[in-house]
Amino acid sequence: MFCFLVLSDVARTSRGSFRQLHNSTIKPGFPVPIKTSDPGVQKAARYGVYTYNNSSNDIFLFKESCINKATVQIVRGLKYNLDVDICRTECTKRKHPSLDRCHFQKHKKLRQTFRCYFEVWLIPWLQRVEVLVSHCQ
């Protein structure tokens, strides 16, 4: 149920972004810069973080701390290319809380930050989201 809500929100946000991009002079398939504050970028970054957390062996959840750069392409939907900093939170994976309620790690020895590159493909009319690339270092 939670995953469906996330996908619904991403698709709903992306429809607006898709209309906005569709009415512009952007050529399909060509990546263009987009504001990191764009709601579609924010949702795509969160989905990339969920994917990272699901594949990580860390006991703590990570959350995006800064979206450094974002581009978007119109390719059978919207493909976001994101450069994101993620940081360890105080929330453990066992409790499965909402990342919105997780604060960044305060203990100096437990703090950890990674720079990540995510490619997130949204197909709003199918309510489908795929993280094509998730690379963090």
pLDDT digits (tens, 9 = 90+) for 49-86: 999 999 999 999 999 999 999 999 999 999 999 999 99
DSSP letters along the chain, please?
-HHHHHHHHHHHHHHHHHHHHHTSSPPTT--EE--TT-HHHHHHHHHHHHHHHHH---SEEEEEEEEEEEEEEESSSEEEEEEEEEEEEEEEGGG---GGGPPBP-SGGG--EEEEEEEEEEEGGGTEEEEEEEEE-
The CATH number assigned to the domain with range 2-136 reads 3.10.450.10
Q: Where are the domains of the chain?
A: 2-136
Q: What is the mean pLDDT of the chain?
A: 85
Q: Say whether pLDDT at 9 is over 50.
A: no
